[in-house]
Amino acid sequence: MDNIYLYVGMGIVSLCWVVTPFLKRNLGQSLTSIDIFINTQLIILLYGIITLFALKCCKYEFDLFSIRKLDKNQTVILLLSALTTYLSSVTLIWLLKNYEATQIIPQIQPIVMLITIFTGVFIFNEKITSIEMTGISLIISGVYIINNFKSVSN
């Protein structure tokens, strides 16, 4: 049963990641990158408030001030996490406003996968198998082919 939740969850995330750039690109025709970001964040805040009330109605126990439980190091990590989310959001919106989503996203996703794998291996000492190394090689080859093909066709 856990695998069903895993695959449904991955499907939802994947679908959102596929659709969101196109939605933001569409908004970029009428709004600036910063306008899109600020309005999106305000709506997300509204969703968060609605979620808090829904959890409260369902009598779900949560600590609104749980951030106080973090030590200094964890607080810095939380702030860095928020900063990287902010920077990537603003930058992605700008990229999507100025370039085609079909040009940007196929380039970013493989790079994110590779950097995530290398960060896991070299910084967090995660193990990588030969099959995963083969996958990395295929990703690098795919990015090369996409870039080479685009430059030839343009």
Q: What's the per-residue H, E or C state across 11-32?
A: HHHHHHHHHHHHHHHHHCCCCC
Compute the radius of gyration of the chain from its Cα atoms: 19
- The domain containing residue 101 runs over which residues? 2-153
Name the DSSP class of 123: T
CB–CB of 81/88 below 8 Å? no
Q: How many domains does the chain have?
A: 1
Rounded Cα distance, 113 and 67, in Å: 29
**What string of DSSP letters covers 42-66?**
HHHHHHHHHHHHHHHHTT----TTG
Is the pLDDT confidence value at 150 over 70? no
Q: How confident is the model at residue 35 (pLDDT cuts 50, 70, 90)?
A: very high
Rounded to a whole number of angstroms, the distance between the first and last alpha carbons of the chain is: 48
pLDDT of residue 152: 52
- State pLDDT tens for residues 73-114: 999 999 999 999 899 888 989 998 888 888 788 778 888 888
